[in-house]
Amino acid sequence: MQTAAPVLDNPDNRNRVEPRFDSRFDMRFDNRFARLSPVFYRRIDPTPLAAPYLVSVCEDAAALLDLDPREIRSERFLNLLAGNLVPAGAEPLAMLYAGHQFGTFVPQLGDGRAILLGEIVNQKRERWTLQLKGAGETPFSRTADGRAVLRSTIREYLCSEAMHALGIPTTRALGIAGADEPVYRETPETAAVLLRLAPSHVRFGSFEVFYARKQHEPIRQLADHVIEEQFPWCAGAPDAYENFLIEIIERTARLIAQWQAVGFCHGVMNTDNMSILGLTLDYGPFGFMEAFNPGHVCNHSDDQGRYAYENQPYIGLWNCARLAQALTPLIDAEKCNAALARYEGAFVEKHASLMRAKLGLTKVMADDASLINDLLAVLAENRADYTIFFRTLSGGDAGAVRDRMVNREAYDAWAARYTARLAAEGSFEAERQARMKSVNPKYVLRNHLAQAAIEKAEKHRDYSEIDRLLALLQHPFDEQPAFEAYAAPPPDWAKDISVSCSS
């Protein structure tokens, strides 16, 4: 074993216990972000957890790194999860960025509790960056402890994999290490570290920080890096930066269309939480819609409702405009505006396509938007459970759907139009039901399901419910009769669950 060298650019690091390096992990690192100028990051080693224990590990995510399923249950891998071992070839660092938080620009943020270990190239030549979340203080911690708590780590772990199974672009979650080390939030909680994966962790705010500082060369360097690594088809062309921006804008629009279609609320759509790749990033106070309400706010800290469900598409465009502004040293304003104008079309096209699929429709017709919007109005009036409604509709039992409505006359009027629409395109019921069940999930990560797993973990150190939920949510469209209760409406006590930015 080799002791890590001290981190010279962080004087607070002098009294820390250093993690150990381990050369026995068979992972091929190719750390291209670490080859960039140090202006983009600060080198920092993770802070080890005392006496860590394994909470859960995801074999599907481990396969992305070609890891042996036996290796991920070893003590060595546990110590990697905890930040106690750094694999040979890794170059830990904290990334710098800024961001608009609830509409207000904060000129410097950065990874305050996340440490990028490095970049792996797997056997398929895919690039994955490994990041420990909750791995201790960094130069960007801003007086915070750099730790994450078990409850929020469980929620991100489960939702990352649930979103992936739903077909929604997202960061992935490899595993959780826990420890009895106290972390103080509103009340004392226990520490945990999440190892998450993404092709890149660059954010909108990664560009904003240099625009605010009037440092234009780093903007060019970072854009060139991301284009080379993630958008190579844009490279070398005279309009490379413009096409780069268009790609990001359209990916973001399509991502949020997917959120809306599945009833997902992110909760904190700050620009520092927006992925340059159009991935769902930084799971905090998220939630899946239950009683449908377009004005639903899932984040207890969002007093003004800025990130309400119905606002998410508009906030996505607003955030893209902040990114476009940061890229004006590379792209003239007129071209930036032209790129931004593509957002609405990309969103509307994707959302309409997804909603038609949810209704079992295979053809595009003139009244589709009216049919979809009027249905959402009926669901809102009846406070219908969003997931259960569409899954029940997929089963073809018209009575079961109608029985869930309070204003049945309004629903009947819509249902008559829907029936006529199906007849107009010659829909076959059995085929339609199969298609609908393949896109309308039976299982989503409801808050009360996550809370049950959290309470078992916190009170009893029983992590079985986490693994059970993970297995369930990896197949959200399947019937899974043994887990029928997990598809039921939330119990009354679930109304009291509150999620906020605290983690």
Residues that are catalytic = 272
Indicate the length of the chain as a whole number: 503
β-bridge partners, 193: 177
Task: Decide if 347 contacts 254 (C-beta within 8 A).
Answer: yes
Cα 16–83–460 angle (5° rounding)? Answer: 110
DSSP 8-state code for residue 266: -
Task: Decide if 196 contacts 160 (C-beta within 8 A).
Answer: yes
CA distances from 363 to 253, 353, 360, 421, 479 (A): 22, 10, 10, 10, 27
Report the half-sphere exposure of 257 (CA within 13 A, side-chain side): 20
Task: Decide if 307 contacts 269 (C-beta within 8 A).
Answer: yes
What distance in Å separates the CA atoms of residue 45 and residue 137, rounded to the nearest whole number?
9
What distance in Å separates the CA atoms of residue 293 and residue 138, rounded to the nearest whole number?
40
Position 122, amino acid: N
What distance in Å separates the CA atoms of residue 134 and residue 46, rounded to the nearest whole number?
9
Task: Decide if 142 contacts 493 (C-beta within 8 A).
Answer: no
The alpha-helical segments, DSSP class H, found in 174-311 are 204-212, 216-230, 240-262
Which are the contacts of 13, defined by CB distance < 8 A and separation ≥ 6? 6, 7, 44, 45
